[in-house]
Structure 1
Amino acid sequence: MTISSKLPAIGSSIFSQMSELALQQQAINLSQGFPDFAASPLLIDALARFSRDGLNQYAPMPGILALRQQIADVVYSCYQRQLNPDTEITLTSGATAALFVAIQALVRPGDEVIVFDPAYDSYAPAVHLAGGRCVHLNLTAPDFNPDWQQVADSINARTRLIIVNSPHNPTATVFTANDWQQLSQLVCQHGLYCLSDEVYEHMVFDGAPQLSANKLPELAERTVVVSSFGKTFHVTGWKLGYAVAPAALMAEFRKIHQYVTFSCFTPAQHAIAEMLAQQRHQVSGLAAFYQQKRDGFVSLLASSRFGLLHSTGTYFQLADYSAISDEPDLAFCQRLAIEHKVAAIPLSVFYKQAPAQQRLIRFCFAKTPDTLQQAAQRLCQL
């Protein structure tokens, strides 16, 4: 049998490759973005209790109402946006599923989609499967600020969607208020749509304001905002995310969502709804929690030969290794895992065409102090 692939250039993701290499080499895994510490015991106990109580069957397609109401409360508390839980919020099987469904709902054959590189690797395949074409605009190190004039110059009659991600994976940068205003102006002026990937929304450091497409009413009216409970509550394996959009967009989103997973992990929805109702401080305290981890990791690497870029959000840290090696970043990461037993992610895989002389890799610091201490000891020996 010969199969004509719809994604002929796509193999296993770099996250799978590096995590598998870390396992093979018994290396400390700072590559894939997941915590190695436990979630709140209250959340785990709630999951077990709701499961024992028999809440193990299909949830309603948009998600249980109690959780959608709590999401509406969080969005209002953080961004002062009033949402209708019945028509403007949908639970999804992780944020990646929400991104995929949103792209299928918005992108038509022949449409162009503006994507900022380095970009999360699920965007381009989803656009391709929808029949669209990505227009890749490179963000430049070390600040990775969007060039909004370049964005404006890239818009034409075929442009349909702009995908943004703030706080940004993998660069650990955050949109400013001006960035959001520039984005809003272009989207509204040209009648475009926006897909705003905000899975790290509660991890903004150094006292910077927590901003979002949700805060700008005109932009919000043309945007699907995607968030992640896996990131917020340290339970990435639960694969529970959600999308927020105005009712008309959400209606199109749900048409596709119902044929992708229909409904999501039922006892987890009840457990998280209870956590949000009773332990909201775990969300509001997330920035301080991860800023402490960032500062500790940076301090541990102070004597290393890595050049550390400033992390303003997410739980990632970029490091310039040009003082250590002139190898391409993928080869360097492979050698780092094999010879020094620390796994990282090469930045070039997030680009369609990465800058030739760039020597940057990404570490995840969502780890226990002991894990970070051991990793730093090895990294400081390079």
Structure 2
Amino acid sequence: MHMLGTRRMILAGGGALAMAGAWHGVARAQARAPLRLGILGDLSGPYRDLSGLGTMASVRQAIEDLAGAGTSLQVEILHADHQHKADVGAAIARQWYDREGVDAILEVNNSAIALAVADLAREKDKVFLATGPATADLHGPRCGPNHVHWTYDTWMLAHGAGTATVRAGGDSWFFLTADYAFGHALQRDTQRAVEAAGGRVLGQARYPFPQTTDYSSFLLQAQASRAKVLGLANAGTDTVNSVKQAHEFGLTRRMKLVGLLCLLGDVRAMGAEAAQGLLLTEPFYWDLNDRTRALTRRLLPKMPTNIYPSTNHAGAYSAVLHYLKAAAAMGPAQAKASGRAAITQMKAMPTDDDAFGPGRVREDGRKIHPVYLFEVKAPAEVKAEWDLYRLAGTIDADQAMRPLSEGGCPLVRS
């Protein structure tokens, strides 16, 4: 089977031993049973700047930082493009688990593909580090013993931006929604948060994903609704293009825009003029504190040209670092033998890293950490190219995530 964009790399404590598809280097490492990580992401589509080579850089940094702390493991990294096609993504994951000896797949920034990979990980007793998908079902009714849900989720994003916006007066909403599992889940969870806070939803427009680039007809529907808030239940270049077009149409003068999964690279692509005043929630920002700034300094030389680390990159770094710590604690051979045992070890150990600070992995597989409400600065306030956010609020870790009792995860004991 052809895997678009597949790359291979072997790392030992951060040092490159072999590069790009050269299996002769792998043969010599077999005796040491390297852990194999598969980054299944977006290399060519709407999420490529939030994914792709930036995630590779983040994974490499996690391995280097672990080695710097005195733990060196043999790690091989594979990289492939899921193309936002469920059949392609699932086929790559199956090949990796069955024939390539991959122990853990990460990223998968497409919720429909992520749900399929979660099922495969359980079937094959492998590990899935869900650092890219947002659907909260991954730690709800579709939770499992072989995966963790790491970075963000639709419940977290919805309750952060949705609740805060209603409380600030944005009590009538219209949704612009990507028409697939992620967009549906994000709109659903935000609508519940809006209505619970006393707001109303006046309408929605669902557009075909990923082929839509012209949002004019959908934005006209939003304008006609007379809602105060336009909730963007999309991500990546879809969010960028819809914000830019909303600004061009003058919609931002009449409606408050809320990016329900909007990351730093998206805001930079929009430009401060178009994005100013946009509200969004993220668990990571490079300039948030001393630890995030230190991580960014280490990462920047490895990142693609002129790309700063985003929340997705931080999630990959954090999850891989904790997985490797767990593998070292239990022994790499045991971690390779049972993905379920590796996930159990991850849940038993507290988390702590420069991306998210201290935290934990909950019984349902949800990684727990604080979340922050940001507002995009006006152009006059921006001091540097990536200096784009103003901190508008902090949501403590235990309040940021859906309560354990409400998720419907069958792993949770009643």
State the TM-score bracket (shorter-chain normalisation).
0.3 to 0.5
Structure with bigger RCO (C-alpha 8 Å, 6+ apart): 1
State the TM-score, normalized to the length of structure 1: 0.35
Which is strand-richer, 1 or 2? Answer: 2
